[in-house]
Amino acid sequence: MAEETEERHPLGRVTRMCVGAGLALFVLLALGSYFPWPEGFVGTLKADALITTFYTALAAAAVAGVELICRRHVWPGLSLLAAVALVLLAWFSGVTF
Amino acid sequence: MPVAEITVPILWGIAAVSVLAGAFGAMLGLGGGIILVPLLIAVFSVETEAARFASLVAVCVTSLAGSLVYLREGVTDLVYAGYLQLPTIVGAVAGALIGSRLDATVVKVLFAALLLFVAWRLLRAKALPSARGANRGRWMAAGGACLGAGLLSSLLGVGGGLIFVPVLSLLLARPPRVAAATSTYLIGLTAAASALIYARAGQMDANIAVPAALGILVGAQVGARVSRFVPGLLLRRVFAAVMLVNAFLLIQTVLRNG
């Protein structure tokens, strides 16, 4: 285990790019939703902004999982990918009680 | 609160409260949902489901913004995050499925109890000895705690940082800053998972969630910069006072409206 105060984790370069792009898109869409667009456009932009954040979190986790596997951290990588798969499964299947 | 009732002053009010929640959250290393949810319910009469969804979106955005900085600095431990994310998501999905059927009054009461517990912990906080290493038993305990964090996060619309940070620092012996960074990363997917299920259940209100997320994003930036000038003890006491006031407001709402 590395030194407690000095440890650095070089993983996550691609994940960072993914998060940055998603966050920028969210801010653009969210701020854009308050401009006087034609009728009916605003609601779409707001919902799109929200969905962007969820997609970004999912994409960041998936990319981090692949990044971990590529760097030979196979089990944590697979765990992240399984978490993403579980979210997608719950979402698309519309599972409910 | 129905969409038609949202006026411009209410919109600004939600944004202002979210800035406050984001600033406080960032100063204490939390997502801010624990402040935002009771204020949205008690001050703006937002429905519990809409407040919870707005908070989850705000937590997700805070996580993304914080992770961007921490990943750049290389302090987020993605290996530990990888191991802990799966039990957290299992808890979050289960919590969202239960939460979408749970009565709003139960959610409010649970939230008030959580606020009182956090306030008590903050006022009686003392340093605990951290572990020197992580063994199998500690990993099992961490997995169980993360399952609980996911459940709590999706039921109440909070980030779960209150559990992740102690798990990472005390159980798994991560340095405090690494624990905060990894927790920030973990709360993002957890909040997104719950929010997606609530959106599917028809509990998404973009008119409240968008200003809340933008406000908390701004507040988190302010809080991160201001935190170094505020003494830790004073911050804990002020935060505990805010928690107590929020708990009182929530209990009042339950007694008034049920």
Q: Which domain covers residue B243, as residue numbers?
A: 7-257
Close Cβ partners of B87 (under 8 Å, ≥ 6 residues apart) = B143, B144, B146, B147, B150
Which residue out of A9, A29, A42, A97 would a mutagenesis test of the B interface target, given it has the greatest number of B Cβ atoms within 10 Å?
A: A9
User: What is the SS3 assignment for A48?
Assistant: helix
Q: What stretch of H or E contains B111? A: helix B104-123
Give the gyration radius of chain B's Cα atoms.
17
What's the confidence (pLDDT) of residue A3?
42
Q: Per the domain annotation, does B2 fall within a domain?
A: no
Are the beta carbons of B60 and A57 separated by less than 8 Å?
Answer: yes
DSSP B5: G
Q: Per the domain annotation, does B240 fall within a domain?
A: yes
Query: Distance (Å) from the C-alpha of residue A37 to the closest C-alpha of chain B?
Result: 16
DSSP B129: P
Are the beta carbons of A4 and B175 separated by less than 8 Å?
Answer: yes
How far apart are the C-alpha atoms of B45 and B7, rounded to whole Å?
Answer: 13
Give the gyration radius of chain A's Cα atoms.
18
Lowest-confidence segment of B32-41, B126-135, B208-217 by average pLDDT:
B126-135
How far apart are the C-alpha atoms of B254 and B257, rounded to whole Å?
Answer: 5
How far apart are the C-alpha atoms of A91 and B10, rounded to whole Å?
Answer: 31
Q: Per the domain annotation, does B1 fall within a domain?
A: no
On whether the CB atoms of residues A57 and B67 are closer than 8 A, the answer is: no
Are the beta carbons of A86 and B81 separated by less than 8 Å?
Answer: no
Query: Distance (Å) from the C-alpha of residue B256 to the closest C-alpha of chain A?
Result: 30
Q: Per the domain annotation, does B60 fall within a domain?
A: yes
Nearest by CB to B82, from A76, A86, A95: name it. Answer: A76
What's the confidence (pLDDT) of residue B131?
55
Are the beta carbons of A54 and B192 separated by less than 8 Å?
Answer: yes
Q: Nearest chain A Cα to B98, which residue?
A: A97
Burial class (CB in 10 A: 0-12, 13-18, 19+), B227: middle
Are the beta carbons of A5 and B207 separated by less than 8 Å?
Answer: no
Q: Nearest chain B Cα to A7, which residue?
A: B75
Query: Distance (Å) from the C-alpha of residue A25 to the closest C-alpha of chain B?
Result: 12
What's the confidence (pLDDT) of residue A57?
94
How far apart are the C-alpha atoms of B194 and B100, rounded to whole Å?
Answer: 10
Is the CB of B71 inside 8 Å of chain A's CB atoms? Answer: yes
B16 vs B4, which has greater pLDDT?
B16
On whether the CB atoms of residues B218 and B22 are closer than 8 A, the answer is: yes
Q: Which of B37, B44, B35 is nearest to B12 (CA)?
A: B44
pTM of the predicted structure, to 2 decimals? 0.86
For residue A6 the two structure tokens come to 């000095």
Q: Residue B130 — φ and ψ, nearest 5°?
A: -90, 160
Within 10 Å of residue B105's Cβ, how many Cβ atoms? 13
What's the confidence (pLDDT) of residue A61?
94
For chain B, what is the domain count? Answer: 1
> Look-up: residue for tokens 């609601």?
A43
Are the beta carbons of B200 and A56 separated by less than 8 Å?
Answer: no
Q: Nearest chain A Cα to B3, which residue?
A: A43
How far apart are the C-alpha atoms of B12 and B5, rounded to whole Å?
Answer: 14
For residue B44 the two structure tokens come to 């703006």
Provide the residue type at B128 as one letter.
Answer: L
Q: Which of B186, B178, B202, B196 is nearest to B143 (CA)?
A: B186
Q: Per the domain annotation, does B248 fall within a domain?
A: yes
Are the beta carbons of A97 and B98 separated by less than 8 Å?
Answer: yes
What's the confidence (pLDDT) of residue B231?
76
ipTM, two decimals, is 0.85
What's the confidence (pLDDT) of residue B170?
80
Q: Per the domain annotation, does B42 fall within a domain?
A: yes
Most confident by average pLDDT, A79-88, B23-32, B68-77, B226-235:
A79-88
Q: Per the domain annotation, does B156 fall within a domain?
A: yes
Q: Which of B140, B146, B144, B142 is nearest to B171 (CA)?
A: B142
Chain A residues touching B217 at Cβ < 8 A: 27
Average pLDDT of span B185-192: 92
How far apart are the C-alpha atoms of B194 and B12, rounded to whole Å?
Answer: 26
Average pLDDT of span A7-27: 84
pLDDT in tens, B73-83: 888 899 999 99
